Amino acid sequence: MGARGAPSRRRQAGRRPRYLPTGSFPFLLLLLLLCIQLGGGQKKKENLLAEKVEQLMEWSSRRSIFRMNGDKFRKFIKTPPRNYSMIVMFTALQPQRQCSVCRLANEEYQILANSWRYSSAFCNKLFFSMVDYDEGTDVFQQLNMNSAPTFMHFPPKGRPKRADTFDLQRIGFAAEQLAKWIADRTDVHIRVFRPPNYSGTIALALLVSLVGGLLYLRRNNLEFIYNKTGWAMVSLCIVFAMTSGQMWNHIRGPPYAHKNPHNGQVSYIHGSSQAQFVAESHIILLLNAAITMGMVLLNEAATSKGDVGKRRIICLVGLGLVVFFFSFLLSIFRSKYHGYPYSFLIK
């Protein structure tokens, strides 16, 4: 038994150990090199992202809004990697562009960016920048953008969606409205801090002083306080201001008018029923005033006891004012509410 087992043990002892097939070594080497390359690429992306964020933070420490040309736009916004949101205002601030709306929107944008820059919640997840048409014409062409100002949000990942473009025509460009839009797109809440404005206080103080001085000078004759015509004029001015949309302008901050960049045509009436221009409210105020003047003349012609010929002229003038300006007002209403079927004299 022992003799038989000895050759078997010698055979086992003489066997060579088994290794992996020779053809698997190149595969393992290739896999190892691939892992090293992927790790190096990931490290390179992290370093590139860190450099971009560091550069943006340095710019933000100097200015709340930093300007971008085509190269900077492609590097910091269009080219990955990016783990931050970028709010960009596309504008045309050069004097030769004559864009008064751009200047007004820039003031509100500056207030918003300063509020974020000096808030306790400031971090490297949100930045504010600006692309001027004369400094980044290629960017405007790349985005097929033909109007200014325009506000866009570029998310950390993916392309901007439709909601990432701020609806300036409908909402206006007030800093508070921009902050609300940013909160919806980025979950970053910005509390807007406006610099103190004492012009209203000074104007009120001057008005009170003027009224007080007038009452003091006329202290022996205050019958004008009971003048019904004077109080009626004051009331009408307040009514005209409120019904023309001045309060809406104050809340939403719409542009005064819109200039078409292609043909240079200026629009004073907004084409949508959801928005208006400041010039539009002024036009409506004048139309309402003209209609009211016509009604006053008609009432004067009917109630006065003067010369019949004079009363007839007053009546015709008042009727003409009411008919013409009401037709104009109705045509504006018809142009804003598309599909409205009725018109009168003016279409």
Confidence of residue 3 (pLDDT cuts 50, 70, 90): very low
Cβ neighbours of residue 64 closer than 8 Å, sequence gap 6 or more:
110, 113, 114, 116, 117, 128
Q: Which CATH architecture has domain 41-186?
A: 3-Layer(aba) Sandwich (3.40)
Give the least confident one: 114-118, 181-185, 241-245: 241-245
Q: 266 forms bridges with which residues in the sheet?
A: 259
Residue 199's pLDDT is: 77
The enclosing H or E element of 180 equals helix 175-186
Confidence of residue 10 (pLDDT cuts 50, 70, 90): very low
Confidence of residue 80 (pLDDT cuts 50, 70, 90): confident
For 283-341, the pLDDT digits (tens) are 999 999 999 999 989 988 888 887 888 888 989 999 999 999 999 888 888 888 877 77
N-to-C CA span, the chain: 122
Residue 13's pLDDT is: 47
For 238-278, the pLDDT digits (tens) are 898 888 888 888 777 777 887 776 677 788 888 777 778 88
The residue-averaged pLDDT of 168-175 equals 84
Confidence of residue 2 (pLDDT cuts 50, 70, 90): very low
Round the average pLDDT of the chain to a whole number and report it.
83
For 186-202, the pLDDT digits (tens) are 989 999 988 777 777 89
In this predicted structure, the answer to whether residue 76 has a pLDDT above a threshold of 70 is yes
In this predicted structure, the answer to whether residue 282 has a pLDDT above a threshold of 70 is yes
- What is the Cα–Cα distance from 60 to 69, expressed in whole angstroms? 16
For 134-167, the pLDDT digits (tens) are 999 999 999 988 888 999 999 998 889 999 999 8
Q: Return the closest-CA partner of residue 83 out of 144, 133, 126.
A: 126
Structure tokens given for 151: 């506000």
Domain residues of the chain, as ranges? Answer: 41-186, 223-336
Do 266 and 259 form a contact (C-beta atoms < 8 A)?
Answer: yes
Residue 153's pLDDT is: 95
In this predicted structure, the answer to whether residue 211 has a pLDDT above a threshold of 70 is yes
The residue-averaged pLDDT of 56-71 equals 91
Residue 126's pLDDT is: 94
Do 111 and 194 form a contact (C-beta atoms < 8 A)?
Answer: yes
Residue 20's pLDDT is: 47
Do 328 and 294 form a contact (C-beta atoms < 8 A)?
Answer: no
Radius of gyration, CA atoms only, the chain: 36
- Sheet containing 150-154: which strands, arranged edge to edge? 66-67, 126-132, 85-91, 150-154
Residues, the chain, total?
347
Q: By CB neighbour count within 10 A (0-12 exposed, 13-18 middle, 19+ buried), where does 346 fall?
A: middle
